Structure 1
Amino acid sequence: MTVVVFVGPTLPAQEVTAQLNAAILPPVQQGDVYRAAKDQPHAIGIIDGFFEGVPSVWHKEILWAMEQGIPVFGSASMGALRAAELADFGMIGVGGIFEDFLSGVLQDDDEVAVLHSPAELGFQPLSTPMVSIRATVKQAQAQGILPSESVATILEHAKSRHYRHRIWQNIGKELSDLPGIAAFLDWLPDGQIDAKADDARAMLALMADCLSQGTLPPSPVTRTEPTLVWKQLRNRIDTNEARNHAVIDELRLDPELYAELRNRAVLSVMAQEEAAEQDRQPDREDLILQMTDHRAKAELSHKTHLMEWLAANDLNLVEYEDILADAARIDATVAARLTQLDGPLLAELKRTGKYIDLRERAAAKEKAAIVNGQISGADRLRMVVWYFETRLDREVPDNLDSYATSLGLSGRAELGALIEAEYLFCHRSACADVPKSKVTSARHEGSIDEHT
């Protein structure tokens, strides 16, 4: 790991990686800088961070990172705040927002706070930070779009609103009678200034220059006081990491399961990289589908059951959403390649020694050449129920079309044809690979005419 950058709503990940070869991490929160510093990166850049909902990044963990000789840069948002507060200790602040916090022109955290979408939707900003509102109206005034009195009114109005409600469209409606506001709103789409993004780009450019020229500034040696709360934070993180390593070691003792989960993990990494490159993330509907499927399989029908399951698996709701988003990305990656998989699947069957049995089974099914007349809808339903509940020992999927497409089929009609052929083959040819009890059980629920 060369460089770590914590970023969220201020800049998309692909813009960061286009400017700097860095590992992208989500907005920083308590403990994240300590975790990152333990891997000894060449530098750490902080752009975005959480202000509420979870504990914010501690000053002490940034100081500890610098004590390890790791330069820490900050700009734009949480990075600018912490850099202003720790400038005397060697944290490197970049940009006008940092300078304004350092000089005292800006003092309130809400100047850089924004409402944004969750991680699975790419941390998209849903409101406008106050620092960008200030920069934008100042630019509009300089270009003669807004008179100074209107500028003051807009700034006072925006500052009085909670940061979640600072949205240009709403501000325009609420101040519709203000002199110059109509021309300003027309100018806004092309003229507005994203102060946080500009500062973040400046920080990335400085980091890239320092890394390429080998001129990263040395971090001052500042002794981090080993206070009780600092020891407790480090112990909690270290204990969790040690526990996780121990769990993985236990997994390694089951090589077949390890290989299965390892391949799934590799697919997860590839799907995440592809989603970032294409700026494509799961939407809310994707997450709901994943959650519905997972809760059904895990028998978590009630919220209390879900919360108990999360606690038992050392998860919180944010981490659970990350898992759902990961599963959705994997499904999307697989779905995009289903038409390309026949060749690789055949090759894998041959490599694992499973090809011959399936080839002979397919030939036997074709030789049986079962020709059917009209089959009623009720009989088709019985076949579907037999296939899933008896043949596979699982419930019938809620969405047969989605199930079919996950297997590379066009939809439920093509799946139904496969199930029908399988049912008739097993019932009339007594297929050797299906236990007799599973072949005959459907007849007890209502026999299908064998002469149909």
Structure 2
Amino acid sequence: MVFAGPTIAAEGVQALLPGAIVLPPAGQGDIYQAARRGANAIGLIDGYFDGVPSVWHKEILWAMEQGIAVFGSASMGALRAAELSGFGMIGVGRIYDSYASGMIIDDDEVAVLHGPAELGYAPLSEPMVSIRATVERAVSSAVLDAAQAAAVLEAAKARFYQQRTWKQILADISEASWLDRFSAWLKTGAVDAKRDDAQEMLARMATFLSAEGRDATQARGVMEHTLAWQGLVRRAEAQDRSLQDTDRRVLDELRLEPERFAAFQDRAVLRFLALQEARRSGAQAGREATLAQLNSHRQAHNLLRSKDLQAWLQANGLTAAQYEADLGEAAQTAAAVSSVQDELGPYLLAELRFSGDFAALKARADAKHMQIDGHAQRDGPMQQAERLRMTAWYFGNCLQQEIPDDVEAHAAAIGIGVEEFFELIRREFMYHQGCKTRPAPGGRDEAGQDG
């Protein structure tokens, strides 16, 4: 997950870090929320300075305590990385280096005025760090001498950060004889120092998230859970539970269908408990798992075209970032369920007995056992051609659906390995063929489930 806004757009983030979940500039509690949602790594670029409480050091420390790598660069990320590099936060770029070394110390060096989310957080002022980098390039290009460079920096630093634009700065030095030359050079010579550092950090994150880079994880520290920290946790969790009026009305409609409400409530409980277990155990869902959730969801709901996905997001009251965060939670839930799959047998049986489905399934299992294991000679291992035929028969005739792209993932989702799955459907086919040759006492075969 990457927090970005005026420094670099979401498209720029994803070009360097494919599959990244891009979130708005971070405020207090946002790093904590990202860590709770199962982030493998967090990149902090942009964060709020004025009007919204800033990212808290302790939430970064807590994320690192969970074993999550936290990177910082360019803006608020560079500030926090300089302050927390000794605890394991990974700072990247010249701006971070300048803060870490004490070369610059003021927060306003990276602060900018920017537009709203609807306009992509477009920057409306120039950060002082970019002005410094631009002036440094102008000196090295012989456009400015040392005294002229100092005059530009003095004029820029004298202005409030929200009023720092090249137009205003040049107006402040309008009497300078070299102004026209410098102004003309600026059109192609200006440096975007924050974007350069952000790009460097994203490349570093991509390397880290690769198989080779994961070996370099940071050691976990231990953070003191103070009363102030507990207050932040309570506020964040209360925000998670709070519902908009529109969402409350949707749930009221669902409550009018008690059986449907109960079914969705069971699924919600599973997600809630699985996420709690994942957070407790530190189970993570990688980018591949999240992308698999994305592909599966888009195929299931016929959202293969971008405009269809956008329409679905709007109809469901979701932003792209919220959708990606939900997919990350779904992948984390699946990872948590998978980790306890071997222990679920007794609980599945208890649920079957409680629901009244156990007896019918047992009768069918006994009949299959008697027919196949009692009277048929088991064949050897299936060849690839037979696997393909069995797979096509099972999904096409029994389930009446397309063969999934990843049969191994399908097998894992029902709690078995892929070889066990092929044996399972071969036994089903043999049982089905036996039922074709004699009357059966009832059950799934007579209900039209087999073609």
Structure-2 residue corresponding to 1:284: none
Partner of 1:115: 113
1:149 and 2:151 equivalent? no
Residue 239 of structure 1: aligned partner? 238
Match of 1:28?
A: 26
Give 1:18 deviation, angstroms. 1.2
The residue that corresponds to 2:255 in the other structure is 253
Contact 1:37–1:65, Cα closer than 8 Å, also in 2: yes
Residues 1:266 and 2:313 aligned together: yes
Instruction: Kindly provide the amino acid, as one letter, of the partner of residue 231 in structure 2.
Output: Q
TM-aligned CA distance change 1:104 to 1:39, over 3 Å: same
Q: Deviations over 1:241-285 (max 9, x none)?
A: 1344995765642569999xx9986335799559xxxxxxxxxxx
Superposed, 1:34-183 pairs within 5 Å as: 34-183=32-181
Cα distance, 1:182 vs. partner? 0.9
Q: 1:197 to 1:254 in 2, by over 3 A?
A: farther
Task: Report the residue type matching 2:240 in the other structure.
Answer: E
Match for residue 219 of structure 1? 218
Aligned AA (1:94): V
C-alpha contact 1:114 1:163 (8 A) present in aligned 2: yes
Residues 44 and 271 (structure 1 numbering): CA distance in 2 closer, same or farther, change over 3 Å?
Answer: closer
Alignment size in residue pairs: 269
Aligned-partner Cα distance in 2 for 1:127–1:89:
33
Q: Which residue of 1 aligns with 2:10?
A: 13
Work out whether residues 116 and 123 of structure 1, in 8 Å CA contact, stay in contact via their aligned partners in 2.
yes
SS state at 2:71 partner: strand
Listed one character per residue, the Cα deviations across residues 9-68 of structure 1 (whole Å, up to 9, x for unaligned) are: 001111111111210100000000011100121100000000010100000000000000
The answer to whether the aligner puts 1:209 opposite 2:207 as a matched pair is yes
Shift in alpha-carbon separation, 1:254–1:14, aligned structure 2, 3 A: farther
Matches within 5 A, 1:299-448: none
Paired amino acid for 1:153: A
* SS across alignment from 1:93: strand
Distance apart, 1:179 and its partner CA: 3.6
Q: After the TM superposition, which parts of structure 1 deviate over 2 Å for at least 4 consecutive aligned residues? A: 242-259, 262-274
SS at match of 1:213: coil
- Do the aligned partners of 1:150 and 1:179 also contact (CA within 8 Å) in 2? no
Give the direction of change, closer, same or farther, for the CA distance of 1:32–1:183 in structure 2 (3 Å limit). Answer: same
1:424-451 CA distances to partner (integer Å, 9 max, x unpaired)?
A: xxxxxxxxxxxxxxxxxxxxxxxxxxxx
Structure 1 vs Structure 2 CA RMSD:
2.8
- TM normalised by structure 2 equals 0.56
**1:146/1:179 contact within 8 Å kept:** no
Residue 371 of structure 2: aligned partner: none
Distance 1:101 1:141 in 2: 22
Structure 1 residues not aligned, in runs of 5+: 275-452
Q: Label 1:199 to 1:269 Cα distance change in 2 as closer, same or farther (>3 A).
A: farther
**Equivalent position SS for 1:144:** coil
Distance 1:156 1:83, change over 3 A: same
Q: Percent identity?
A: 49
Q: Give the match for residue 299 of structure 1.
A: none
**Structure 2: stretches of 5+ with no match in the other structure:** 265-308, 322-451
Amino acid at match of 1:7: A
- For the residues of structure 1 that align with 2:61 and 2:44, how far apart are their CA atoms? 13
Instruction: Name the structure, 1 or 2, with higher relative contact order (CA <8 Å, separation 6+).
Output: 2
1:99–1:266: structure 2 CA closer, same or farther, 3 Å change rule? same
User: 1:117-141 CA distances to partner (integer Å, 9 max, x unpaired)?
Assistant: 0111110000000000000011011
